[in-house]
Every structure is written in structure tokens, then in C-alpha cells.
Amino acid sequence: MCDAYELYRHLHPDPGLSIEWAWTLYRALTRSGDLSFASCSLCDGYYVRDSYALDYRRCPFCDG
């Protein structure tokens, strides 16, 4: 996890995601089941979605 975050910081010097938020997101995706990855039906990109919300299979970029 630390190596991945260091690479992220190297690629994005002014990050929008702190190590604490990255860790929280990682835990939510791998353990709780509240969040999951989904694939957009329009652009085929991946996005994080709420597992309990309605999912129209569109990423935030294509939806909005």
C-alpha cells in the first residue's frame, strides 16, 4: 500500500487523496462490501460505486 501511494505521489505531486483516505478507501473496497468497482457502460472506465445504491452503470464523468 505504501509503495502504491508513493508512486501515486510521484505521478501526482499535488494529490487529492491523502494516505489516510487511500487506506480508508482500500479497506472499504476489500473488507466491508459497502463499496465496489463497476465498469461504465458508455466509456468502459472503472469507478467506485456504493454497493447498496441504484447503479445505472454510468461513471460520474459520463453521468454528469
- pLDDT, tens only, 16-30: 888 899 888 888 888
- Across 24-52, b (16+ Cβ under 10 Å) vs e yields eeeebeeeeeebeebebeeeeeebebeee
Indicate the pTM of the whole model: 0.62
CA-to-CA distance for 4 and 8, rounded, in angstroms?
6
6-58: pLDDT as tens digits: 898 999 888 888 889 988 888 888 887 889 989 999 999 999 998 888 888 89
